[in-house]
């Protein structure tokens, strides 16, 4: 059985992706700082006939990230599918965007992805088998988000990371791609403190040609495709999944 590691897998896109990979036959390592939520995802996968386990992981902890990958490699040889998804999006207009707030978002959203890729890439490369998907956003990859400069900048950085990693690892038959979601119905976007909130999302959905926000499972399906052999000649790409939003702007 192949091993898949998904960060930020307790809720939202990460949880949906972990469930999808469980159905695809991976042994899924569900990692998050949200233990109860992560354990619930594991239970869903197991109840569906799959194999999974929860791992408490703060992606800002380099030693913990490396130890997790090393444990997977000891048991499975290498990580076959890596989904670097963990992220935060606290609202902070530039007037209150301190160095500390900027650094925290970059540490989680961008450097957190680097830590996992850097740890997993050597064994993937040696095995000449594996695929990586990094979760970006249309905020940064395509557009900006007015009171989320730190988030937009970090997500733009993910797009660059995907390109550089894809070029480096292609020679070892390891593929690296990204997805850039638009509006997705998750706890993050429904937060009035840090995002649109329910009323704001309802208004935002009117700007989407398809007339609605995505369900997390729709992002998970794209991620699962990029990790599969059906995408065997796709690397270095960031796929926009936004219901036509950005092409209609």
Q: What is the pLDDT at residue 187?
A: 77
CATH code 3.40.50.720 for 3-248: yes
Longest dimension (CA), the chain: 50
Can you tell me the distance from the alpha carbon of 249 to that of 247, in angstroms, rounded to the nearest whole number?
6
Q: Which of 182, 175, 177, 238 is nearest to 210 (CA)?
A: 182
Share of the chain above pLDDT 90, in %: 84
From 26, 94, 151, 233, active-site residue = 151
Can you tell me the distance from the alpha carbon of 57 to that of 37, in angstroms, rounded to the nearest whole number?
13
Q: Model-level pTM? A: 0.96
Can you tell me the distance from the alpha carbon of 66 to that of 115, in angstroms, rounded to the nearest whole number?
8
In angstroms, the Cα distances linking 234 to 14, 173, 228 are: 21, 11, 10
CA 13, 15, 20: angle at the middle one, nearest 5? 90
Q: What is the pLDDT at residue 192?
A: 67
Can you tell me the distance from the alpha carbon of 188 to that of 12, in angstroms, rounded to the nearest whole number?
8
Whether 89 shows a pLDDT value over 70: the answer reads yes
Can you tell me the distance from the alpha carbon of 128 to that of 147, in angstroms, rounded to the nearest whole number?
42
151 given a catalytic annotation: yes
User: Quick check: 212 and 241 in contact, CB under 8 A?
Assistant: no
Q: Which long-range contacts (CB under 8 A, 24 or more apart) does 30-33 make?
A: 30/6, 30/54, 30/55, 31/5, 31/6, 31/7, 31/55, 31/56, 31/57, 31/68, 31/86, 32/7, 32/8, 32/56, 32/57, 32/86, 33/57, 33/58
Whether 197 shows a pLDDT value over 80: the answer reads no
> Domain coordinates of the chain in residue numbers?
3-248
pLDDT of 128-187, one tens digit each?
A: 999 999 999 999 889 888 889 999 999 999 999 999 999 999 999 999 999 999 989 887
């Amino acid at each position: 059985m192949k091993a898949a590691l998904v960060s930020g897998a307790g809720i939202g896109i990460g949880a949906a992706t972990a469930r999808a990979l469980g159905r695809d036959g991976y042994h899924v390592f569900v990692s998050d700082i949200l233990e109860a939520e992560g354990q619930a995802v594991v239970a869903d996968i197991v109840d569906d006939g799959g194999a999974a386990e929860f791992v408490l992981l703060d992606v800002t902890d380099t030693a913990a990230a490396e130890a997790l990958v090393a444990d997977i490699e000891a048991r499975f040889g290498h990580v076959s599918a890596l989904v670097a998804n963990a992220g935060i999006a606290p609202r902070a207009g530039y007037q209150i965007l301190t160095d500390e707030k900027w650094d925290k978002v970059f540490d989680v959203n961008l450097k957190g992805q680097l830590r996992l890729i850097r740890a997993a890439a050597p064994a993937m490369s040696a095995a000449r088998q594996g695929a990586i998907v990094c979760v970006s956003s249309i905020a940064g990859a395509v557009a900006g988000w007015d009171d989320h400069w730190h988030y937009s900048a970090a997500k733009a950085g993910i797009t660059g990371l995907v390109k550089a990693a894809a070029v480096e690892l292609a020679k070892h038959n390891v593929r690296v791609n990204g997805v850039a979601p638009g509006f997705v119905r998750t706890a993050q976007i429904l937060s009035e403190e840090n995002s649109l909130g329910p009323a704001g999302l309802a208004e935002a959905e009117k700007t989407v040609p398809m007339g609605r926000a995505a369900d997390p499972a729709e992002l998970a399906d794209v991620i699962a495709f990029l990790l599969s052999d059906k995408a065997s000649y796709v690397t270095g790409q960031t796929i926009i999944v936004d219901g036509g939003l950005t092409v209609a702007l």
